[in-house]
Amino acid sequence: MKVGLHTLGCKLNQAETSVIGSRFAARGFELTHLQDDADVVFINSCTVTETAEKECRRLVRGALRRNPAAFVIVTGCYAQLRPEEVASIDGVDLVLGSVEKRRAVELAHDFRKRDTPYVEVSNLRHDNGFGVGYTGVEEGRTKAFLKVQDGCDYSCSFCTIPLARGPSRSQALDESVTLATKLVNQGFSEIVLTGVNVGDYQKKEGGSLYLLLQKLHEIEGLKRLKLSSIEPNLLTDDIIALAARSDRLMPHFHVPLQSGSEEVLRRMRRRYQPAYYAERVRTLVNALPDCAVGVDVIVGFPGETKAEFQETVDFLCDLPIAYLHVFSYSERRHTPAATMENPVPRDERRLRTTVLRTLSNTMWTHFAQRFVGTERNVLFEQPTESGLLTGLTDNYIRVDVQADPNLSGTVQRVRIGEFYDGRAAGILVGQPKAPISKSW
């Protein structure tokens, strides 16, 4: 039997889907893409935006059009928060919450379609256990995602994640190091630490993310280490200093902002103001001049005036950042923001989203062009269909190179050439060939 796996949302979801996929494989399933004619459909859902929920429903319908007899499993945050709504989607057979997803293979039993969906969702409010650590594998087997933290104790007024994931809890330090060591011994060149709020790692136990990063640096053979995301108030001076002197912790940080307006941040219940955020980013870039800083921004938050949106635009333009992840505000049930006055019209939200995505493209072009003609370390992934090797530099620039496919999974020195469609042509340092053309 074939199982089609699909992940919506964050890298934490990706890690969990990968592990669950390995459990299907251990039962003899062939892992395939959702678009294929799969016998079992597994969707790890997201509920951060209304769009993510619509996409989940669309994916279920599409999978059943391809194979009406497919056994459909939906899990993740959407299933955790609104299991009845997910169960009402025609063709869904199994609805599992955030805790139950790890038992998807067992709970499906014989994988025969049901007249009535089976739903199993736990209450996470008092869940203080971390559970089994997840290690997910990126396609190409060069990068592994290691889940070290889950849940969130923050109370941002727009966010449902604390409801969907429960309170903040962390994997034990020794267990995290043991799993990371196992991944390195399996041949992975890069480990990405994932979680809902990774910077909160082990704070309740008196530990810290900095201590974990120090311990991971002791693993022999680990080439690259990254954080999936870190809150600005948790991006400490010691983490920045470690990154500046490290040859493993990559100069690529994703630091959520959400708004450059002091008043909007207050309504969002964020734990910082624009001046503090700017200080953290400038401290980071001063220590790591080539660092790529990615930024999350929400536009159209309730009550956001045109002047407040312009504050965000001006604030972003004044920062040394590389790119933006832009989200149009989406009303989420059971959040304070959903009942706030003066909602921004949806057309205006879309317009503001377009403005910031255009700005992001400009930012990325300026950032990436700085490195044309320079040399960077690139971790090569699997060859592309055109036969090129592709990979990311330490600071997140995608580079395509004509090189021996056997270099997949290795870190090589590459000279960066021209950019086309957001990616660069390059040549291996010491290689006599000319850079590849834009013919790809």
Q: What is the pTM of this model?
A: 0.89
Domain shared by 237 and 139, yes or no: yes
Domain shared by 165 and 219, yes or no: yes
What CATH number should be reported for the domain holding residue 418? 2.40.50
Domain shared by 147 and 191, yes or no: yes
pLDDT beneath 70: ranges in the chain: 125-141, 432-440
Structural domain contains residue 433: no
Domain C-terminal end among 370, 391, 411: 370
Structural domain contains residue 197: yes
Structural domain contains residue 172: yes
The number of folded domains in the chain is 4
**């293979």: which residue's tokens?**
105
Cα 154 from chain centre: 19
Structural domain contains residue 439: no
Q: What angle do CA 128, 136, 409 make, to 5 degrees?
A: 145
**């267990």: which residue's tokens?**
175
Domain shared by 97 and 178, yes or no: no
Tell me, what's the pLDDT at 2? 93
Tell me, what's the pLDDT at 412? 95
Domain shared by 88 and 179, yes or no: no
What CATH number should be reported for the domain holding residue 206? 3.30.750.210
Domain C-terminal end among 120, 152, 186: 120
pLDDT digits (tens, 9 = 90+) for 7-38: 998 888 888 888 899 899 999 999 988 878 89
Alpha-carbon distance of 199 to 128, in angstroms, equals: 18
Domain C-terminal end among 250, 276, 303: 250
Structural domain contains residue 434: no
Domain shared by 192 and 242, yes or no: yes
Half-sphere exposure of 288 (CA within 13 A, CB side): 24
Structural domain contains residue 360: yes
Burial of 338 (C-beta count, 10 Å sphere; 0-12/13-18/19+): middle
CB within 8 Å of 369: residues ≥ 6 apart: 419
Domain shared by 272 and 235, yes or no: no
Tell me, what's the pLDDT at 387? 83
Tell me, what's the pLDDT at 102? 85
Domain shared by 342 and 234, yes or no: no
Tell me, what's the pLDDT at 384? 81
For residue 79, the surrounding DSSP H or E stretch is: helix 77-81
What CATH number should be reported for the domain holding residue 329? 3.30.750.200
CB within 8 Å of 270: residues ≥ 6 apart: 156, 258, 259
Structural domain contains residue 436: no
CB within 8 Å of 227: residues ≥ 6 apart: 192, 193, 198, 199, 209, 253, 254
Structural domain contains residue 392: yes
* Residues 44 and 22: beta-carbon distance below 8 Å: no
Residue 320: closest CA among 355, 265, 367: 367
Domain shared by 102 and 136, yes or no: no
Tell me, what's the pLDDT at 438? 46
Domain shared by 314 and 361, yes or no: yes
Instruction: State both tokens at 178.
Output: 């043991």
Instruction: State both tokens at 228.
Output: 């999936």
Q: Domain limits at 398?
A: 375-428
